[in-house]
């Protein structure tokens, strides 16, 4: 697949998330967890989403692959995110990122042979993948990089 726009994933509420719907917008894909030291980034992600939702979409992918820090059901995850952080950006159903079977979207994001740009490894929760308006992978940022970091803000505004 040449573009993330070719993917469709199941949303946390059961409604399909079709990445083709986001053509013309920048996309930030982030793996999320409710019991991680980086969990407060949910608030920063929501702030970013609210500030730039005309030109940016954020898709959160809950995963329990990193330290077992997302043990809840999809319903529990959704409740936690909306009640504690007011999350309105789309969330996918919980996925496997490191353990087989790895979700196809994450296979694409992490392998240059598929995305045409870079090989990467998801090291921990809240790793961020940035994609341009055409659905092409631009960069990956580790968990420690805040969603409100200047490099991400400058990328959105460019």
Asked whether the beta carbons of 48 and 87 are under 8 A apart, the reply is no
Cβ-based neighbour number of residue 88 at 10 Å: 13
DSSP string, 62-105: E--TTTT---S-HHHHHHHHHHHH---S-BBPP--SSSSSPPHH
What distance in Å separates the CA atoms of residue 127 and residue 73, rounded to the nearest whole number? 21
Q: Which residues are catalytic?
A: 36
């Amino acid at each position: 697949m040449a573009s993330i726009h070719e993917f469709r994933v199941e949303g946390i509420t059961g409604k399909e998330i079709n990445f083709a719907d986001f053509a013309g917008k920048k996309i930030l894909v982030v793996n999320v967890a409710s019991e991680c030291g980086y969990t407060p980034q949910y608030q920063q992600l929501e702030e970013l989403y609210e500030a730039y939702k005309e030109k940016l979409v954020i898709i959160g992918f809950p995963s329990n692959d990193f330290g077992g820090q997302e043990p809840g059901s999809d319903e529990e995850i959704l409740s936690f995110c909306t009640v504690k952080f007011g999350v309105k950006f789309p969330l996918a159903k919980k996925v496997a990122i490191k353990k087989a079977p790895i979700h196809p979207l994450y296979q694409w994001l992490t392998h240059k042979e598929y995305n045409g740009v870079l090989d990467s490894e998801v090291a921990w929760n809240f790793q961020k993948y940035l994609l341009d308006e055409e659905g092409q992978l631009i960069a990956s940022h580790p968990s420690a990089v805040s969603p409100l970091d200047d490099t991400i803000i400058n990328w959105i505004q460019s």
